[in-house]
Each structure stands twice: as C-alpha cells, then as structure tokens.
Structure 1
Amino acid sequence: MALSPRNLMRISPVTWTRCFSSSACRGSVDNNNSNDGLLTIKEVRTHLMNMVGVRSQWGQENAWQNPGVMQPVAESQSELPMRKPSDSLVRARIPLSDANAREKYLLHNGGIRFGRLLEDFDTLAGLICYQHNKNPNLGDEQKSPYAFVTVLVDRIEQSSSQLALSSKKDINARGNVTWVGKSSMECSMYMEQEIDGESHQFLSAKYLFAARNPLTQKAGVINPLEPQTPEEKAAFQLGEENKKKRQLEGSKSLLKAPPSKEERLIIHDMFLSTIDQKSGSLKVNIKPENTIWMEDTILKSLIICHPEQRNLYNKMFGGFLMRQAYELAWSNASIYSKKRPGMCKVVDDILFRKPVEIGSLLFLSSQVVYSSGPDLQVHVHAEVLNPQEDTRETTNDFHFTFDTGLADLPRVMPKTYAEAMMYLMGKRHYES
C-alpha cells in the first residue's frame, strides 16, 4: 500500500519550542501542541548539539563531559523502550521572512538555493533520530551513547506541481521516524510554504540513518518502533518494501551484473548511430545530429575540508557535501543546456560509503549521463585524494535530475563501454 505524503503528516504535531532560559526544559518537546515559537533551523542545530553532548572546539579531544544523563548501551532492542512515530515528529522553520537569515538562501535572481535546503534537511533528520532514541524515563537532559550517521538519502523529490516559491516567506520543515530495523531507521521528511493563503508541500525526502557506538565503532541498537494509526502502519510497511527494493537493486548493479537484454539493445543501437556506415569500419566515429559526447560533459571541483564544516563527530557534515555536489551538478546542467535550470526535480540514492575526514582533499566530478526530453540526469562522484600516497577513495555518489524546460535539448551520447554503463545507470535512476 502506497502512502501519500498528505496522509503521513496527519499525525498529531509535536512542536519544538524556544525554552533556552530554563535548563529544565532545554531540548525538551512541548507536548501541548503549541503553535507558538517554532524553532528556527539554527536552533535545531543547538538542540542537536545539546542532545549529542560531544561537540568541542577543534583541536580539543572530544569527551562525554557535557551535563546530562548518559543513556546505557543496550545489547538488544528488548532492553529499550518502545517508541511511537509521533514521539520523533519534529517541526521547524527556515526563517526566510528574516532579512538577515534570508541572504544565505538567496540565488542571484531572488530564487531559493536548493543546496541550502538539502543542508537543513540533513540537520533536521539528525535531530529526529536522536529524538526517537530518547528514553522517556530519563528526563530531558539525557545524552545518547550512539552516533547516528547518514547511510543513504533514498530520495528527495520536488512536488510535480512546480510551485512558485517565495524567498521572503518562511519554509516549514517536518519529519519523523517511519521505519526501524535493528540498527538503522528511515526518516520521512517534508518541506512546505504558504502560497496564496494555503500551505503547500513542495519537497519530500527519505533518509536512512544507522547507529554507531563511537567508542567501539560497531553498530548500535536503536529503540523499536510501534506504529499506531493505519497511516503509520502503512508507512512502516513502505519502509520494509524500500529495504527489500534497495537489496534487489544492489544485486542488479552494473558493477555486479551485466545489462539486461533490452539495455544491451539500446547500447548497440546507440553505438551503430555513431558509426560512419560509408567507411565500412567500426573505428570511425561520427557524432549524431543534436547530440553531445558524454566525455565533453565532465565538470570537476576540489574542496579542502576545513574544520568549519565539520559535524558533531568531527567529520565533514553530510549536508555540506550534498550542497557542494548539488551546486556542481546544477552548474553542469546549466553549461549543458545553455540556460539556468530551476530547482532539482529529484535527488536519488545519495550513498555515503564512508565519512570524509577533516583536512581531506575532496574531489568532485560531475557528468551528464542521461537525457530524456527536457530532462538531464547528472551523476556526481566524490572521492578523497591522498597526495602523499597518490591514492583516491570513493566516499559518495550523487544522482540529480534537472528539468531544463527545453524541447530540443541535445541527447548525451556515450563513446566507450564504460560511458555506456554510466548511461544505463543514469537511465535506471531517471526511470526509478
């Protein structure tokens, strides 16, 4: 059973409120469902640091020294209290109505920076994970024994209605845990804005987090989830289906299995279209009309990973990496289409293979790998360079879909077998 975003958010809201003046309420949830004083996304980060309790100045050793009760490390889920989806529901706002806060979200033309929204989504999802794993019997000042790391962003999708967002109106973000395994959980996330007097949802996302014991670096055990309403039960079932789908797609990866018969025919037809039939040779390439060679669509950047962009565990903040990858992909789509596309339609399967250490040289390489009508599929590959050892290690893969609005957009054309596999990978992500 598919679950619509509107049905999912019919859960009774739990609102984070400003209560910094009293240590007794700091980091707590207001269960009175007050609509006053939604936390800004900046205050969400403050609450997240309070709940984790490990952030220190760069160069100082991290220790669990912040005031608060440390939750015990559990060996099994039976030791942990059962949680409801509503227990982890968090609502916050991005205060675009505040001129001082607005500027970092603005594009040159007055639009909204999608990459900044990705950063805020990641921050909010992190807080939701800690909120789910709170022990209601230990009070509000408790600290989690685990680190929750982003494993995968399963999908971030823009509303098909293509709403005209305002850069001067607040954006409300909300989400909660909708599925739980033994050491991983899925967060369903949404953003909405008031348009013509009504609140409209324009962005949805699913994040997969895993619990890690920072002292042993092993998987942690997280609180079990007990759905209450039919909508919550449907969301949990959807999470189970997403898990099976990810496992199936992993087994069909082009790194593990050959293309399907249909895909092989597509690649062969594209290959024949690049051969000069008059030459009688397979080695004479011609570029078909209204196409661009895939090798000519590469755009790269290099990031020096400074402490300023670290997360609570002194690794590079995943939201920052998503923003950098998105902005590179957007730039590539702009160069390819010779116009500036709007916000990304879909972000599909952002895979975090390993954390990026502070001080790393992070190399981002983007490439247009598939095109269909006015749409472009851009893949961004992230890897850490070690200049001393002359090695590269993959850390992330990103997949973005852009709508250029052009009816006569050139098709991207692979030359080599490796590019053909990237074309098929892009096609799969686009059609998923």
Structure 2
Amino acid sequence: MLGTLRLEEPPILKEATLDEAGWCLPFSYEVGEHRRGGRGLLIKYKARNLTLSKPQIATDSYLELIFPFSSNSTLREQYQRFTSNHMRFGLLLEDLDTLAGDIAARHAGVSERVLLTASIDRISWIQDRHVAGEVTLANNLRMAGQVVWAGRSSMEVMIELSHQAPGADPNQWNFIGLAFFVLVARTPDRTAAAEVPLLVPETSREMELFEQGKVHMQQRQQRRDAHWARRPPTGEEVALVHDLIRQHHLHRIGNYHYHHHHHHPQQHGETVPMSRTVLQNCCLMHSQDRNVFDVIFGGHLLRLAYEHAFSTAALHAGEYCDPLSMDDVAFLMPGCVVRVHVRATKVEPGAPEQSVVTNVFSFAFRCPSGPVRRVVPDTMVEAMEYLMGRRQNANDEASQAVLAAQAVARL
C-alpha cells in the first residue's frame, strides 16, 4: 500500500469563499448544513472551464478539504469519541463519501445526471507512528482527491489523507491514508445509466493512475466472482469447517456451557456460535441525512454500519477494538483480528413483512489486549459466511500485516 501512486497537486489552487462553498462542495455542503452546520473547514480547488460536455482534464476535478483540528476546539469536539482522545472514525467515513461525490460532480456535473456511490474500493489508514507520525485530533487533517479513471457511466475517485502537526510548515503534509471510491451516473429518473465526460490524462503519473483504475475494475469483478454465492467452497475449506464444528462440539460436551455465552469475554481457545455474537439495530432515516438528490447519502449508511460493527466487536472482545479494515478498506495496524459482517436492510412501506438487502458491509478490527474467542457456524449459510470472511482475510493487506507481525513477535 505504501508504494501506491500519489496524486500530483495542481500548481495553482484557489481557496473557496463561504459563498463559493455551496457550488464547490454540492454534497458535503448540503449534508453539513443539514446535520452539523458550519464547521470552519478550509476548501481549496482548481479553477477550471465549466463546460462539462467535453472531455475533462484529470486535475480539473481536484479538491482539498482541510480540517483545522489543532486550532478549532469546536470541530475537534465534534470528531472526538466520548471520554477518549480517539477520532470518531464513522464521521471521517461520512466525509470521505461526500467529498468523493463533490469530486465526481466537478468532473460530470449534477444538472443532467444523478451521481451515486457504487462501491468503496479501498481505504488505507496508516497509524504506524514510525511511518507517518502519530495520528491524533491534535493535528490538522487534509483530504485531497480527483477523478483518476472514467468509463462510460462510472468514475473512480482517489482521495489522499494527510496530517500536519501544529506549528509545522503550512505547505508540508504527511501522507497517512488513501481511499478509492467508485461512483456511477444515472439518468434523472434513475432508470438507466448516464454517460459521463471522457477523462484525459496529461502527465505520465495521470496515465499510470488511469491504467491503475482499469486494473481496479478487473479486481472488483474477480472479488464478486469469488463470493460464496458464485464460488463453492473448496475441499480444504469444507474440511476446515468440519474440523472447527467438530472441535466445538467436543469442547461443548466437555466443559463448555453453551447457554451462558453471549457477548462476554472468555479465555482464548474457547469458541462461541456465530449467532451468539449478533447485534441488531433499526435506524430511522431523516431529512437531515439526505444529499443534494434528496435521498439518504451513502456515507450516513456507512457510518451507521461502522459504528454497529464497532459495538459488535467490542461486545465480543470485551473491550474497545481498533479499526483494521472494511471490505477492501485497510487500516494498517498490528494486532489480532476479529471480522464482523453487518447487513443493512430496507423495509418497503405498506409491506413490513418484506425486507430487501440494500447493502452488505464487512469490517475487521484488532483487539488491543490479544486473541479473542473463535466463532463457530451453526448453519450452512453461516459456514459460507465464515469461509467468505476467511477468503477476505487472505486477500486483505491489513490482516496479512497483522499475521506477519504476530509471527515476528513469536520468534
């Protein structure tokens, strides 16, 4: 992840005035006004030709959003987790999602098309102080991004995260993270795909990022094909589940009291049924959570899913856990991992007995104090979900970094 290509900051950026904030950030400004009011953020953008029907230069969509945490105590308190100095990571995910929409809007516009977040390809959050310094709310935070690839009706937006210590050179930012969002364009009635302007890379770096976007598209298809609904378990995976359930059954017959285990920390080596870790919640959507298209914005659902997964992991581990990854989203930190799957469902008005799955989120966390209890599937569907989590873990850079750190620690 550290070797990933970086953006080239345009040589001349303009600082947006308060009057310009609305059209410069159509998603972030709308959501911010509805939910948190003015936050004192600094906005920088590249002045550009407003003709959106022609091919667009890559840097024309460039945007910067700066959070002055070091000097704005009110802003710092908004992003602070209660009774701790840790950041409310769910709010940061909201901001990343809305900024990705703002960047896509600068490339494609919003007057003739509806822009929707299709997927979050990857986010890397580096919290290794030896690499990037300690990430805290005492430092300013910058999100900077642009469209790096565009197809017929979809775009890949790359956002870099950097921080800056108080009193440091205002032009010196330390890279700490990376995000890739995929947005799609639909017709105003949302019945068909809408075309987006072509993207014209000008520099060799922009060409590399464009080619990287093509690779990401192929990788997304490969991950979809690897889902358990399409790809059956291998013989090795079937044997793994069989052995796991057999060991759990033998342990239960011996000294394991099945009915007493529900969200309580136990000694390492014990197992608990997956169904016993379930935490459910029902959330009402409100007008304050809508975006410029008058629908609930994806970042809000992302925050709800993350905070729900955070609570589930904490109850299972018996302590607060640190975020490690979300599906393809990686937060590089050493430690032990517990992976949590969260599903959000939509209930249709007038038919409360019917529900439709609208989003599936997959998160991973590390338990600071060490290993946690293993979970054991009870049903075939749970077994497939267990194997899917195992496959994700094998392809997750953050999880593999954790395993490597554990192996070194045991030497």
**TM-score, normalising length: structure 2:** 0.77
Superposed, 1:229-244 pairs within 5 Å as 229-244=203-218
Q: 1:208 maps to which residue? A: 182
Work out whether residues 28 and 98 of structure 2, in 8 Å CA contact, stay in contact via their aligned partners in 1. Answer: no
Q: 1:9 maps to which residue? A: 7
Query: What is the letter of the counterpart of residue 9 of structure 1?
Result: L
Q: 2:327 maps to which residue? A: 348
CA distance in 1, matches of 2:242, 2:380: 10
Of residues 276, 294, 306, the one that matches 2:286 is 306
CA distance in 1, matches of 2:85, 2:27: 34
Helix, strand or coil at the partner of 2:146: strand
Work out whether residues 184 and 211 of structure 1, in 8 Å CA contact, stay in contact via their aligned partners in 2. Answer: yes
Structure 1 residue 200: Cα displacement: 2.4
Query: Structure 1 pair 16/153, CA: closer, same or farther in 2 (3 Å)?
Result: farther
Cα distance per residue 1:322-372 (max 9 Å; x no partner): 111111111111111111123x2222259xxxxxxxxxxxxxxxxxxxxx9
Structure 1 residue 186: Cα displacement: 0.5
Of residues 81, 87, 92, the one that matches 2:65 is 92
Of residues 274, 283, 290, the one that matches 2:270 is 290
Q: Does 1:125 align with 2:100?
A: yes
Cα distance per residue 1:382-417 (max 9 Å; x no partner): 001236311101111111111212333222222222
Query: Structure 1 pair 18/393, CA: closer, same or farther in 2 (3 Å)?
Result: same
Query: Structure 1 pair 226/391, CA: closer, same or farther in 2 (3 Å)?
Result: same
Q: 1:405 maps to which residue? A: 368
Work out whether residues 399 and 429 of structure 1, in 8 Å CA contact, stay in contact via their aligned partners in 2. Answer: no
Query: Structure 1 pair 81/417, CA: closer, same or farther in 2 (3 Å)?
Result: same
Structure 1 residue 316: Cα displacement: 0.8
CA distance in 2, matches of 1:122, 1:146: 18
Q: Does 1:172 align with 2:146?
A: no
Helix, strand or coil at the partner of 2:375: strand
Query: Structure 1 pair 70/180, CA: closer, same or farther in 2 (3 Å)?
Result: closer
CA distance in 1, matches of 2:252, 2:100: 58
Q: 1:188 maps to which residue? A: 158
Of residues 225, 228, 241, the one that matches 1:267 is 241
**TM-score, normalising length: structure 1:** 0.74
Cα distance per residue 1:142-166 (max 9 Å; x no partner): x631111001111222116255322
Q: 2:122 maps to which residue? A: 155
Query: Structure 1 pair 14/103, CA: closer, same or farther in 2 (3 Å)?
Result: farther
Work out whether residues 16 and 92 of structure 1, in 8 Å CA contact, stay in contact via their aligned partners in 2. Answer: no
Query: Structure 1 pair 12/262, CA: closer, same or farther in 2 (3 Å)?
Result: farther
Q: Does 1:320 align with 2:291?
A: no
Q: Does 1:107 align with 2:63?
A: no
Of residues 13, 25, 28, the one that matches 1:48 is 25
Query: Structure 1 pair 179/278, CA: closer, same or farther in 2 (3 Å)?
Result: closer
Work out whether residues 3 and 234 of structure 1, in 8 Å CA contact, stay in contact via their aligned partners in 2. Answer: no
Work out whether residues 16 and 90 of structure 1, in 8 Å CA contact, stay in contact via their aligned partners in 2. Answer: no
Work out whether residues 376 and 402 of structure 1, in 8 Å CA contact, stay in contact via their aligned partners in 2. Answer: yes
Structure 1 residue 235: Cα displacement: 1.5
Structure 1 residue 20: Cα displacement: 4.4
Query: Structure 1 pair 50/71, CA: closer, same or farther in 2 (3 Å)?
Result: farther
Cα distance per residue 1:238-257 (max 9 Å; x no partner): 21111112212222321123
Query: Structure 1 pair 338/224, CA: closer, same or farther in 2 (3 Å)?
Result: same
Helix, strand or coil at the partner of 2:161: strand
Query: Structure 1 pair 246/339, CA: closer, same or farther in 2 (3 Å)?
Result: same
Query: Structure 1 pair 95/71, CA: closer, same or farther in 2 (3 Å)?
Result: same
Work out whether residues 129 and 177 of structure 1, in 8 Å CA contact, stay in contact via their aligned partners in 2. Answer: yes
Structure 1 residue 87: Cα displacement: 1.4
Helix, strand or coil at the partner of 1:406: coil
Query: Structure 1 pair 251/269, CA: closer, same or farther in 2 (3 Å)?
Result: same
Helix, strand or coil at the partner of 1:400: strand
Query: Structure 1 pair 277/397, CA: closer, same or farther in 2 (3 Å)?
Result: closer
Query: What is the letter of the counterpart of residue 152 of structure 1?
Result: S
Structure 1 residue 201: Cα displacement: 2.2
Structure 1 residue 277: Cα displacement: 9.6
Of residues 249, 253, 257, the one that matches 2:227 is 253
Structure 1 residue 15: Cα displacement: 3.2
Superposed, 1:314-393 pairs within 5 Å as 314-342=294-322, 344-349=323-328, 374-386=336-348, 388-389=350-351, 390-393=353-356
Query: What is the letter of the counterpart of residue 118 of structure 1?
Result: L
Helix, strand or coil at the partner of 2:237: helix
Work out whether residues 294 and 415 of structure 1, in 8 Å CA contact, stay in contact via their aligned partners in 2. Answer: yes
Of residues 419, 425, 428, the one that matches 2:382 is 419
Query: Structure 1 pair 70/179, CA: closer, same or farther in 2 (3 Å)?
Result: closer
The size of the alignment, in residue pairs, is 354
Structure 1 residue 216: Cα displacement: 5.8
> Which is worse superposed, 211-220 or 192-201?
192-201
Work out whether residues 123 and 178 of structure 2, in 8 Å CA contact, stay in contact via their aligned partners in 1. Answer: yes
Helix, strand or coil at the partner of 1:245: helix
Structure 1 residue 14: Cα displacement: 5.6
Cα distance per residue 1:167-200 (max 9 Å; x no partner): 1332110111111110001011121112484632
Query: Structure 1 pair 431/152, CA: closer, same or farther in 2 (3 Å)?
Result: same
Helix, strand or coil at the partner of 1:186: strand
Helix, strand or coil at the partner of 2:207: helix
Structure 1 residue 261: Cα displacement: 2.8
Cα distance per residue 1:45-64 (max 9 Å; x no partner): 663339999xx99xxxxxxx
Work out whether residues 174 and 191 of structure 1, in 8 Å CA contact, stay in contact via their aligned partners in 2. Answer: yes
Residue identity (%): 28
CA distance in 2, matches of 1:376, 1:174: 31
